[in-house]
Structure 1
Amino acid sequence: MRKVLYILGQLDDEDIEWLARKGRRFQPAPGATLIREGTPVGELFFVLSGEVVVCVSGIGEVARLGRGEVVGEMSLIDSAPPSATVEAAAGALILGVDKRDLQARLNDNPGFSGRFYKALAIFLADRLRNTTQRMNARGGLAAGAVMEDELDEGILDALSLAGARFEHLLARLSDHREHGV
């Protein structure tokens, strides 16, 4: 759930409302492909519940990501195709945000753009730091390895608010579904 906390910790309430309005909530069939290695991604995906499985050609499963994880964010940073395939596991509930809608908001709203890219930069720096630590500690990166680590103090301040925003996003999506929106 750490990734969504980085992102929602930087966004404001209006940004969360926008995600709830623009996002497409869906429950893919088990094994359904959300992202295919080497194929451009059309959406940014938030895992609302359940899990997704990340696989890399020639290696196999490298991770299982659960509630609060975000996938497809790298495609917003550069135009390189995805380096992994992401498939839904049984019971996954996903929020997909169309990349074109997201790009339009990034272009039209400088405040959102700054907050969003800062969140991605914080997350990607943390991911690189953790990967490097795991590789150094183990002489290589083991699939599914989890490194216990500490969060930067500046990030800790935003975590509680980010958790509340994630719960608000889930509630808003539930309201949309119940009212046929």
Structure 2
Amino acid sequence: MAEELDPEKLGSLNRLESLSQKDLKKVVSRGSHVRLPANWSLIWEKTPGDKAYLIVEGEVSVRKNKQEVTRLGPGDVIGEMAIVGHKLRSASVVSLTPVEVVHFTKEALTSLLDEVPAFGDALRGTTEDRLGAPAE
């Protein structure tokens, strides 16, 4: 059984600090709290967007064609671009350290975007930072 994540821990993360306690609880309840070891492949390039992760602790490497393009950490969301854009994954993601994440299915993430507008805003902010331009 997965250990439960305290919503207050999410509230201290970059981008999520503006979410209310009620919204944080909803985000936590829709995902699964998971701890993964270093060198774990969370997402694979050119696969369907079926899941996303919110990084709570640790660092990951985002890689295109096996070359690292960036590193992400606490407060960042990975895997959302393929879900929102209805496209195949544009990159692979591998943990560089042990990581603590909240795992969301495609369905859970999609419903959260509608039900918790502040979470959608945080997600778009992460995407915009990664792409260097506003998300559509």
1:81 aligns with 88
1:106–1:49 distance in 2 versus 1, CA, 3 Å: closer
The separation in 2 between residues aligned to 1:19 and 1:69, in whole angstroms, is 14
Q: Given the alignment of the two structures, is residue 119 of structure 1 paired with residue 122 of structure 2, yes or no?
A: yes
1:89–1:38 distance in 2 versus 1, CA, 3 Å: same
Q: 1:56 aligns with which of 30, 50, 64?
A: 64
1:37 aligns with 45
Q: Which has the higher strand share?
A: 2
Q: Deviations over 1:104-162 (max 9, x none)?
A: 3445x3xx2x33333334444444448xxxxxxxxxxxxxxxxxxxxxxxxxxxxxxxx
Determine if contact 1:10/1:118 at 8 Å carries over to the other structure.
no
1:23–1:117 distance in 2 versus 1, CA, 3 Å: closer
Unaligned runs of 5+ in 2: 1-12
TM-score of the superposed pair, with normalisation by structure 2: 0.72
2:110 aligns with 103
Q: Which has the higher helix share?
A: 1
The separation in 2 between residues aligned to 1:87 and 1:81, in whole angstroms, is 17
CA shift for structure 1 position 85: 0.3
Determine if contact 1:47/1:66 at 8 Å carries over to the other structure.
yes
2:55 aligns with 47
TM-score of the superposed pair, with normalisation by structure 1: 0.56
1:71–1:125 distance in 2 versus 1, CA, 3 Å: closer
Unaligned runs of 5+ in 1: 131-181
Give the total of aligned pairs: 121
Q: Compute the RMSD of aligned alpha carbons.
A: 2.4
Larger radius of gyration: 1
